[in-house]
Amino acid sequence: MSDLFDRTTRALGSAANFRQMRHNVISSNVANADTPGYQAKKLEFEDSLARAIRTEASGAEPTAVETGHFATGPGAISRTQADVFENPDAEPVGLDGNTVNVEREMAGLVENSIMYKAAIQLINKKLAALKYAANDGR
């Protein structure tokens, strides 16, 4: 039996989840903009998600389940994880050692919001096509 959702729909769902996580990280950075010594955080998932999509598409059978291994094989997209780390590009903004640049964070928040909405719209279009097919074109 095949999956109801194809690889594209699963990838879009994972991307939307990661975008939500990124929103939380950026919001946390903005909330701590006045905290002395706070180091801005960054969340990355694009490379690992792209790798999971490629390996799942290749039909590779081995699956990595140990921490630190790349997600491969069937279900690789659902096992993809995001990396949260201190932003190496951030420089102290003030004398207190805080590395949050509010303008850059807000621009990142807007970009992330646009990408999240795009993923949700694409998922909605895929689901509308399934609904159309389930209703025999009505």
By the 8 A CB rule, do 105 and 24 touch?
A: no
Q: Which of 119, 118, 137 is nearest to 129 (CA)?
A: 137
Percent of the chain with pLDDT over 90: 55
| Alpha-carbon separation of residue 123 from 15, 106, 134, 135, 137 (angstroms) | 11, 26, 16, 18, 19
The tally of domains found in the chain comes to 1
Average pLDDT over residues 25-37: 96
Pairwise CA distance, residues 31 & 25, whole Å: 10
pTM value? 0.79
**What is the reported pLDDT for 74?**
55
pLDDT of residue 63: 47
- For residue 26, being part of any structural domain is answered with yes
Question: 69: which 2 tokens?
Answer: 């291994």
Reported as a single tens digit per residue, the pLDDT across 36-68 is: 999 999 999 999 999 998 888 776 544 444 555
Mean pLDDT of 103-111: 96
Q: Assess if residue 110 is contained within a domain.
A: yes
The pLDDT tens digits of the residues spanning 60-98 come to: 544 444 555 444 445 788 888 999 999 988 888 778 999
Element (H, E) at 43: strand 41-44
Report residue 45 as tokens: 């998932």
Measured torsion, CA atoms of residues 67, 71, 76, 77, in degrees rounded to the nearest 10: 90
| Domain extent for 114 | 7-45+82-127
pLDDT at 21: 97
Decide: 21 and 67 in contact? Cβ < 8 Å: no
The pLDDT of residue 95: 86
Q: Considering Cα of 91, then 93, then 96, then 99, what sign does the dihedral take?
A: negative
pLDDT digits (tens, 9 = 90+) for 113-137: 999 999 999 999 999 988 898 888 7
Q: Are 40 and 27 spatial neighbours (Cβ–Cβ below 8 Å)? A: no
| Residue 69 covered by a domain | no
DSSP element (H, E) containing 52: helix 46-57
In this prediction, residues 9-38 reach a mean pLDDT of 95
The whole-angstrom separation of Cα 63 and Cα 71 is 7
Q: Is residue 67 part of a domain?
A: no
